[in-house]
A and B are shown apart, each in its own frame.
Chain A
């Protein structure tokens, strides 16, 4: 039974990082209706940029982190301006394919710039772990959990209490009504991409601490899809709750399924979650069903 609780605890902590990355996806979707297939690639890109600052340039964590946040925000804006902005008025499918193309481009660009080998961050959290009751939590997981929790709280505070957050919520509510209030909707789109890129980068940093940093992290970024599908595409609450659920299910599948299937059960679990959610509750736990008219 200890094993079960151990998996649940680690899963919650891992899942909280998924929540943070998925938050960026939901922010873009809520504000502009764009589905960002490249969020996982932004995660890997952010992790690699931070790795370059920390290891290649040898900057201290606070400075490298700040520079990485700034450069990712800038990159998010650039990406929005070059690829998503020209697609205004195109059908949803074209925009989805655009982000898929962006993902394909980034997937090939990253190994060219950073190399394809797996790297490691300097040890930021102490090695080993602490013991709570009979369970062992490694500091990497615990630190990741706390940081993700902190970042999500900052984002929630930002949306609730700052002026920019208010503007973003207004744009999410309706583009035309926001425009009629004098909000520059295009600027808000850019902000949402900047925030998404930064949240992806921080998620990438936390995941990179647990495992390793490489362009292949983009495939870990695919884990955000079960999170957003399960939680509901346009629900921030849903995404915060669904993250740990996906993390727990993934680790449980890996823990109990791997001996039977000889590995890989944890990798396929997210996709089974997607399929089951789509069949039984297509709009997720907290998602709103869209009402359409002709």
Chain B
């Protein structure tokens, strides 16, 4: 039985049937949620505010992964590297060419998209593991290019770069409180685009390629073109995430975008449920919450003899690995599936059907 609508709601028109937000209650929840998300800064301590900002940035990056891995089915293990391209090009445009941040952001997003397109070229002939290797190589290659000649003249090599504070009409965005709003606005915009691109012709072509690329090609879908489109979208999202990340962290270096981060982003998408926007968001929030908790409770296991101090250092990685393994075994459809089950239960309650 279809429980995607609350009881007693009947879709009497087609436009209503395909609406993203079907009922007035949904609208109320959505608008209320978005409004609330903008009201939280005064209630948060600085560490938690920092956590919220970084989580929002990571949501944007993982939404990029959602296109290429979730919808199009091409494993990408280089999202952090692509994010680095966005962050570095933003700051270099601002420092070397005196661009304003608001101009540098879209340009660096386009640059990142182009860079990712180059690394997407192997998808012409390969898929699956081979493509995963291509993106993995791109991660290491980008990191290497950033830290070595000739590019280290602009990127600062291993030392990294300092981001000048963006300004807009006299407002200087130099604190978490102010930057929070910019990140939030961009996050909701990117969620909006991601949700809608998934429902267009392009999104349906992605899903067709994911489910069977041969069948998609037989149907007349330009598989290579759409794969590149997916990579380009992932690049745009990574670029924007990188651009948003730079003024938040202020001083960054290649370690902020290392291989481990790429794996984490992929893991967040998988834990959330790769084929849905809600899943991507849930996955990011869930894993980052766990991580934050390990950093909070890490010191408390420090006194345990022998293993304590080391365990505290590596607790995050241990938990992350275990969470991925457990989710793949026990809930391969991710947190999103649990959310769907919960919604169905809520709508049917107290009857079981």
Contacts and interface: CB of A to CB of B under 8 A. Distances in A.
A96 B316 CA distance: 21
Contact of A101 (B136, B267, B311): B267
Contacts of A262: 148-149
Given A105-B317, A105-B318, A115 B310 contact: yes
Interface stretch (A47-55, A83-91, A145-153): A83-91
A210 interface: no
Interface stretch (B2-10, B119-127, B278-286): B119-127
A261 to B, nearest CB: 5
Nearest to A86: B329
Interface residues of A, number: 46
Instruction: For the complex of A and B, list the 10 residue pairs with the smallest distance between their C-beta atoms, beginning with the closest.
Output: A105-B321, A108-B317, A101-B324, A271-B137, A108-B314, A104-B321, A278-B122, A268-B144, A274-B137, A282-B126
A2 interface: no
Interface SS, A side: helix
Interface stretch (B33-41, B185-193, B212-220): B212-220
A229 B134 CA distance: 10
A289 to B, nearest CB: 10
Interface in B300-319: 307, 310-311, 313-318
A97 B267 contact: yes
B332 A112 contact: no
Nearest to A82: B325
A272 interface: yes
A275 B21 CA distance: 43
A274 B119 CA distance: 12
B121 to A, nearest CB: 6
Interface residues of B, number: 52
Interface in B226-267: 260, 263, 266-267
Nearest to B138: A275
A158 B313 CA distance: 43
Contact of A279 (B77, B121, B138, B317): B121
A132 interface: no
Given A268-B140, A279-B121, A292-B214, A97 B266 contact: yes
A261 B136 contact: no
A19 to B, nearest CB: 18
A233 B129 contact: yes
Given A104-B321, A108-B317, A93 B149 contact: no
